[in-house]
Every structure is written in C-alpha cells, then in structure tokens.
Structure 1
Amino acid sequence: MRFRVISQACSRAIGALAPALIICATAIALQAKEAEWTDLLPAGDLTKHWTTKGNWSIDGDGVVSLTPREGEKGWARFDAYLWLAGDYQDFEIEFDYQVQKGGNSGFYFHVGDQASPVAKGIEVQIYDSGSKPADAKLTDHDSGGVIPGIPPQKNNAKPAGQWNTFHITVKGRSLTIRLNGEVVNEVDLDHPRLKDRPATGSIGFQDHALPLKLRKIRIRQL
C-alpha cells in the first residue's frame, strides 16, 4: 500500500513537472540552434553556398580570390558579385579580408534586389583604410563605414596586404561592426539614410574590379 501511494505521488510530481521540462528542453534546443555557425566555405568549396558570374576562385587553403578579368571596370556589374544563397534578416557573420594598395570592395546585406544592391541594400565598406594617415578624416567609404552616409567611428584597419577580420552583427534595427576585435561602428538601421532599405534580403561581396581575398567566412542566424 505504501509503495502504491509513493508511486502515485511520484507520478503526480512528474506530471506537474512535465510542462516545465518540455519548455526547458525546447528553450535549450532553440538556443543550440541559434548558436550554430555555418561554414560558408566547406572543404574549400565555393559553389555550395555561393553564386557569381565574376572571376572568383578558391584555393586549397580556403582562400577566395577575386581576380578581375581584362577590361572589367567599376562596381556596377552586379551579377559579378559573390552572392550567398538565401535571405537573411538577423544574423552574425565573420570573415577575413585582404586588399591591395588602394583596394576597394564591400559587404552587402538586406539586399532586396540583386540587380540593384546599391539602391536596394546596405553596404559595409571594405577599403584600404589602413594605408591612410592616422589623423585622416574618415568617410562612409572607409573600412567599417556604412553606405550610404555613415563613416566608421575609428580606423582599425591594417595596412594593405595584411589580413583583417570583420565581425558583423545585425539584430532587429541594430548593426554592430567589429574590425580586428574592436567596435568601429554601431548603427541604427532606422537612421534617415537607411530606414527605407529592406529589412531582409541577400548577402554578397562586391566585385569592384580590384583584387580582393577572403577567407574563414561563417554565419549564424539569430
């Protein structure tokens, strides 16, 4: 009789706890899913996650190189950009980049139309800012600047030929840009220059007809 009473009490206790356990398990699963990073260059493969008509390639060390073809000029060849499959709204992305002297490129996100990323997206500038004098005025075209119209708060770029690391977080209406471990820009996406841009969309790297190297690209959705 005593065993039956204890058993019934245990059953009631477990029954009472079950909803809480389910909630906890669900929360843990969601947190784990949120924390998953996706390697965007798995096993040195550029074709699994990316599309482009530009002259992008990847070597055995996982380094992506943009080598402009003869006669290619400017940034308006939008199908030559390196486009990531799918749309992203809230996300974190990390990548290394390397530019040559005078190098220029950009990281695009929330692009609503790949045929018009400059007008229908937001750009985080990639530039040879590390070669500028320490006291030079910064513009939205310096590394970590946001186009249109928002310069970085500091110049933390390394000189041309060295690797730089971007860590970019987009969550809600907030954009945080870290360059080489330091926050260089914090931007409200409701800024007058940005508020009418799409809130979700494609991610891509600009082909500015100038050499560029990328590596260690990974992303996670938030």
Structure 2
Amino acid sequence: MPKNRIIRKLFLPLLVFLLLTNCKSENSEWKSLIVDNSLEGWHTFQDFESTKGWIVEDNVLIFNGVSDMESGEGDASLLSDKEYENFEIKFDWKIIPGGNSGFMWGVNEDKKYNYPYQTGQEIQILDPAIYDNPKIALGGDMEINNAVEDLEVHKHFVGALYDLSAPSVLDVAKSANEWNSYHIKIDYKANRGEVILNDVLINSFPLQGPEWEAMVQKSKFNKSKSEDSEYLGDARWYDFGRFSKGHICFQDHPGEVSFRNIMIKELE
C-alpha cells in the first residue's frame, strides 16, 4: 500500500475523533448567558424585538418593569432566543420584600398560548418572609391567597416546582435583598430534575411519565380544571410540561428581581 494511502487511513479516523470530541467538549462547557453586559440573546415572550421591562447593569439582569399582572399589557417574561432540552443552569438571584418571580424551561411561543407558564414548568423564586406574613406579598389578593393556601404544603415556596413538588428543606433561602444561588439540572434522558439552593439539594422530581402525570393531576395544571381558566385562551393547560425542548425563561411578576452569574451547560 502506498505511503500516502497509509497516512490517510490512519489520519482520517483520528481527525473525525478529534472533531467529535471538540464538539462534545464545546457543548458541555459552562457558558455565560449575559454577553457583553447586554440583553443579546434574550427577548420578551412572543416578541423577538423587545426586552421591555428588563435591563442589564454591571452584568446583572434586572426586571424593574411593571408586570402584566399590574399593567394588563401582556406578559413581559424574558426568554432565551435559543431553545434548550437537557441542561444545567446556575445563577444568583435577589428579590425585593414581598416579591415573586420564577425560572421556567420548555416554554413554547406558539400564539395560541397567552403566557409562558402554560407550557413551561417553573422553579419558584420568592421572598420567604411572605410565608410568615402573607399580607406583604406583592400582586394583590391573588398572590396573598396563593401563599395562605400553601402555608402547609409549600408547593409555592422557594425552590418548589410550582404547584407540583415542594422543597424538602425549608430553611435554606436568604432574606429579601440578599443574594441566593440556584443550581438547577433538567435531564429528560434521566427523567430527573433537581434544584440546589445555596449548595443544598432541596428538590428532586420526574419530568415525564406516570409519576409526573400523577403530580399534574393533583395540581392546578390538571386538564379537568382548565375550563375555569378562560384568561389562558383556548389552549388552557392542555400542553403544560409537554415540550422537553423549549426556551428558558425568567418570569414577569410583581416586584423587582435581579439575576447575576447566569451560566448554562448543555448535557449530552
């Protein structure tokens, strides 16, 4: 066999291996989601031209706008331009007294949905003092009642998979105006989601299958309850949690909330 053919035979498999290894390495690296101290790579729900209500200062993402709950002008939750499926995300968050927000994934922007939470599952972000005094909750009677009704089960508490899975530890969150740290893992291949708050694993839950369906049946997302939710439009809750791949989202909700050190790593 000629020498050049021998070289090609040996070199080509090595080249393919290096290319595949490099691609896998790049996908599995932690990447910042705040680029050049800007909102590049983000948009508000169903509007790729807008980031209304959100600013970035010193690489800190801040919602300082008026929420749809207060304005009635449409949801201003902030979504990633890119869609994700299996990933880990880390970020620090800080919220004002009485404030409420959330992190979502699997959000679909079809126009038949009025809100990102019709499809996306949410990890709750909240001033924990609301559970000691629900009257301080921003957002009026709806948010006050949400806290009062949840004082025992804690499915709306910090670190909850909203209305589906309560955190197993309740004393980890820091007070309003202090920085907390989330490390959230969403892995559909392993059918497992995890929430680590301030270095403590506080929640673990399935993402699909019979166990997940059982949780949905006990929640407000139960399809049989959808007919009472006219404000959601015709789609109601029918597609809640059905999209394993979708946009990630920081929620538009009453109260200023800040995020920093937002890093994501896609899982193979």
Q: Determine whether 1:158 maps to 2:174.
A: yes
Aligned partner (choices 23, 42, 61) of residue 35 of structure 2: 42
Cα displacement string for residues 22-58 of structure 1 (whole angstroms, at most 9, x for unaligned residues): 5642453133123222211122112x11113541112
SS at match of 1:92: strand
Aligned partner (choices 181, 188, 192) of residue 174 of structure 1: 192
The separation in 2 between residues aligned to 1:96 and 1:75, in whole angstroms, is 27
Q: In the TM superposition, what is the alpha-carbon distance from 1:96 to its structure 2 partner?
A: 0.8
Match of 2:60 in 1: 63
User: Residue 78 and residue 87 in structure 1: after superposition, are their counterparts in 2 closer, same or farther (change >3 A)?
Assistant: farther
Match of 2:119 in 1: 120
Match of 1:199 in 2: 244
SS at match of 1:36: coil
Structure showing the higher strand proportion among its residues: 1
Residue pair 2:120, 2:241 contacting (<8 A) in 1 also: no
> Structure 1 stretch 173-182 or stretch 14-23: which is displaced more?
14-23
What does 1:115-154 correspond to in 2, within 5 Å?
A: 115-129=114-128, 137=152, 139-154=154-169
The separation in 1 between residues aligned to 2:174 and 2:80, in whole angstroms, is 26
The separation in 1 between residues aligned to 2:33 and 2:201, in whole angstroms, is 23
The separation in 2 between residues aligned to 1:160 and 1:196, in whole angstroms, is 29
SS at match of 1:80: coil
Match of 1:221 in 2: 266
Cα displacement string for residues 164-198 of structure 1 (whole angstroms, at most 9, x for unaligned residues): 11111111221111111111111111211358532
Sequence identity, in percent? Answer: 28
Q: Determine whether 1:21 maps to 2:19.
A: no
User: Residue 22 and residue 97 in structure 1: after superposition, are their counterparts in 2 closer, same or farther (change >3 A)?
Assistant: same
> Structure 1 stretch 169-178 or stretch 112-121: which is displaced more?
112-121
Instruction: Give the gaps of 5 or more residues in structure 2.
Output: 45-50, 133-150, 217-239
Calculate the TM-score normalised by the size of structure 1: 0.80
Aligned partner (choices 10, 28, 31) of residue 24 of structure 2: 31
SS at match of 1:65: strand
User: Residue 116 and residue 20 in structure 1: after superposition, are their counterparts in 2 closer, same or farther (change >3 A)?
Assistant: same
- Which structure is larger by alpha-carbon Rg, 1 or 2? 1
Q: Determine whether 1:104 maps to 2:100.
A: yes
Cα displacement string for residues 62-110 of structure 1 (whole angstroms, at most 9, x for unaligned residues): 22222234x9635976531111112111111111100122221010100
Residue pair 2:75, 2:252 contacting (<8 A) in 1 also: no
Return the letter of the residue paired with 1:62: N
Return the letter of the residue paired with 2:42: W
Return the letter of the residue paired with 2:123: V
Q: Which runs of 4+ in 1 moved over 6 A?
A: none
SS at match of 1:30: helix
Instruction: Give the gaps of 5 or more residues in structure 1.
Output: 1-6
The separation in 1 between residues aligned to 2:34 and 2:97, in whole angstroms, is 26
> Structure 1 stretch 156-165 or stretch 189-198: which is displaced more?
189-198
Residue pair 2:99, 2:254 contacting (<8 A) in 1 also: no
Calculate the TM-score normalised by the size of structure 2: 0.67
User: Residue 218 and residue 196 in structure 1: after superposition, are their counterparts in 2 closer, same or farther (change >3 A)?
Assistant: closer
